Structure 1
Amino acid sequence: MVTDNKETIKRFKLYTTGSFLGDEAVINNSKKSIVERYYIFSYYLEINDFKILINTGFSEHVKPSTDLKTLKLFQRQDYKVYESLPSQLMKNHVHPDEIDYCIITNFASHHIGYLNAFKNATIITSSEAYHDFITQQVTNNNLQLSFHVMPDDFKERIEFVDDFVKADHPILGTGNKVFNQDVIISYQLPGAMPGQIGLMLKFPELNIFMCSDAAWCRSNIEKDVLPTKRLLKQAYNGELFIDTHAKLIDLKSHNEDPLFIIPSHCKKMDDFEEVMQLLDAIN
């Protein structure tokens, strides 16, 4: 396990492993239908020479079929699978066997598409997300798909964020210092998925809050847009989904340090390339 020494994130890169089409009328409650492409993100970072992934992306192994209830929401899914996460990592001189930890924010199939490629990684998640995944596997199509990419020794490699040192935030509430360090802190973001966590990544000059599926797009937070009724119907707990989303808007408005709030999915906004360049430049 990473030591207790206070450290900084030494390398950071955002990877895109796939995308789908979503309708603004559904996601942002737009008065007219505007179909745009939403990208699926994974993160790579290094702390103390430990190599860490946050979510392992979208893959052909878990490409959803268009008749799943969770995808009818978007009407024109048109899912695209890009170059695999292991292949992209190797182009940056990181072999899949070198990954020490995979932090999974929830067990939706597009978050863990290549999980079985990282054979030496400890899998970190919340105890609630893990237990829901194990016990509800036959009742949720999205979770059923996830089992296609589970390592055989999955249960032996699990570690829970709940067991790390606690931390308190005035807006996000009680969290846990992942690896018992201040550099990554997990917070519960209930509503969209069971046991979902978000991760505050602390850099010298700014913070990034990876909010998982607590918001569908960064522009929703920037424009103070709460989840639509159609999104709420698909959420694990609609009431908690709204509460969590409101916290993100509050976080954006009251944060004193420079902060980017980035979901697991995001459309290509006006400043998308600028944001990607900024994130890729952090080392």
Structure 2
Amino acid sequence: MKQSSIVVKKTLVDRYYIFSYYIEINDFKILINTGFSEHVKPSTDLKTLKLFQRQDYKVYETLPSQLLKDHIHPDEIDYCIITNFASHHVGYLNAFKNATFITSNEAYHDFITQQVSNNNLQLSFLVKPDNFKDRIEFVEDFVQTDHPILGKGYKIFNNDALISYELPGAMPGQIGIMLKFKDFNIFMCSDAAWCRSNLEKNLLPTKKLLKQAHNGELFIDTHDKLIDLKLESDRQLFVIPSHCKKMDDFEKVMKILDAIK
């Protein structure tokens, strides 16, 4: 069997606190989430936008234009893995005309039935492609695996290099993505933790985050699992959330990713 390789490139400018990652596995060009865009903020009255403003979100350049700078045309993207359907994770969903979207059954169902609107994230529908339903694949359709801490997971493309795990609590059907490298692993935990320093200092989510979460109790359980994961990993592991408060460890994370060849 051909050994899988993963290439990770930073695809968003430093001022972004919500990430989209570009990776390559064999011949597949893959995005994990499609980031925040101007398309999901038509009104300054929206609570989500006010959160963005407090966190100093600024769109200096679009994700598609930055991919083009890396000589990757948006039409070349084969897959977009969506960890949850918060509007700031799917900002350029309709920019990738030929991509198949991979997500969990629960996240998809919540999104397509507009249940996500209960979380003030209905703006996601502004970027939903017309043929969205025809381009969906579910992580549950891949080979199942089990992790002693994270529990049930699925080998995306039936390959050990990329595994999704359920991370319940923050958003319906949320998943995290484990990238397995030769000497270490990276776990992209989506919104299951606000920043890496919270995990390192064993700090639980704030009351405000718990109140806004889809299920506060599950949010705490998942957060505890991430702490256990980091403590009990048998190899070097970097847990990377989608959000970091003022990106207190941004440089460290970027050095890790930029060092990957």
For the aligned pair, the TM-score class normalised by the smaller chain equals over 0.9
Tell me if 1:13 matches 2:25: no
Q: 1:165: how far off?
A: 0.4
Q: 1:258: how far off?
A: 0.4
* Distance in 1, Cα, partners of 2:215 & 2:116: 19
Identity of aligned residues (%): 78
Q: 1:74: how far off?
A: 7.7
Higher RCO, 1 or 2 (CA under 8 Å, sep at least 6)? Answer: 1
Tell me if 1:194 matches 2:190: no
Q: Give the 3 Å change call, closer, same or farther, for CA 64–8 of structure 1 in structure 2.
A: farther
Tell me if 1:179 matches 2:179: no
1:211 partner SS: strand
Q: 1:280: how far off?
A: 1.6
Q: 1:256: how far off?
A: 1.2
* Distance in 2, Cα, partners of 1:250 & 1:274: 21
Tell me if 1:119 matches 2:115: no
Is the Cα–Cα contact under 8 Å of residues 104 and 125 in structure 1 kept in the other structure? yes
Q: 1:75: how far off?
A: 8.1
* Distance in 2, Cα, partners of 1:45 & 1:12: 5
Aligned length: 261
Correspondent of 1:253 among 215, 222, 231: 231
1:44 partner SS: strand
TM-score relative to the length of structure 2: 0.93
Aligned residue number for residue 121 of structure 2: 143
One-letter amino acid of the structure 1 residue matched with residue 199 of structure 2: I
One-letter amino acid of the structure 1 residue matched with residue 126 of structure 2: H
Aligned residue number for residue 274 of structure 1: 252
One-letter amino acid of the structure 2 residue matched with residue 47 of structure 1: I
Correspondent of 1:99 among 74, 77, 85: 77
One-letter amino acid of the structure 2 residue matched with residue 80 of structure 1: K
Aligned residue number for residue 212 of structure 1: 190
Aligned residue number for residue 36 of structure 2: 58
Q: Give the 3 Å change call, closer, same or farther, for CA 155–17 of structure 1 in structure 2.
A: farther
Q: 1:135: how far off?
A: 1.1
Is the Cα–Cα contact under 8 Å of residues 56 and 85 in structure 1 kept in the other structure? yes
Structure 2: any 5+ residue segments left out of the alignment? none
1:214 partner SS: coil
Q: 1:63: how far off?
A: 2.6
Matches within 5 A, 1:41-52: 41-52=19-30
* Distance in 2, Cα, partners of 1:17 & 1:117: 18
Aligned residue number for residue 235 of structure 1: 213
Q: 1:266: how far off?
A: 1.6
Aligned residue number for residue 80 of structure 1: 58
Instruction: Give the stretch that moved more between structures: 131-140 or 236-245.
Output: 131-140
Q: 1:62: how far off?
A: 0.8
Is the Cα–Cα contact under 8 Å of residues 212 and 263 in structure 1 kept in the other structure? yes
One-letter amino acid of the structure 2 residue matched with residue 16 of structure 1: L
Aligned residue number for residue 134 of structure 1: 112
Q: 1:72: how far off?
A: 5.9
Is the Cα–Cα contact under 8 Å of residues 17 and 84 in structure 1 kept in the other structure? no
Correspondent of 2:241 among 236, 247, 263: 263
Is the Cα–Cα contact under 8 Å of residues 164 and 177 in structure 1 kept in the other structure? yes
1:186 partner SS: strand
Q: 1:232: how far off?
A: 0.6
Q: Give the 3 Å change call, closer, same or farther, for CA 64–41 of structure 1 in structure 2.
A: farther
TM-score relative to the length of structure 1: 0.86
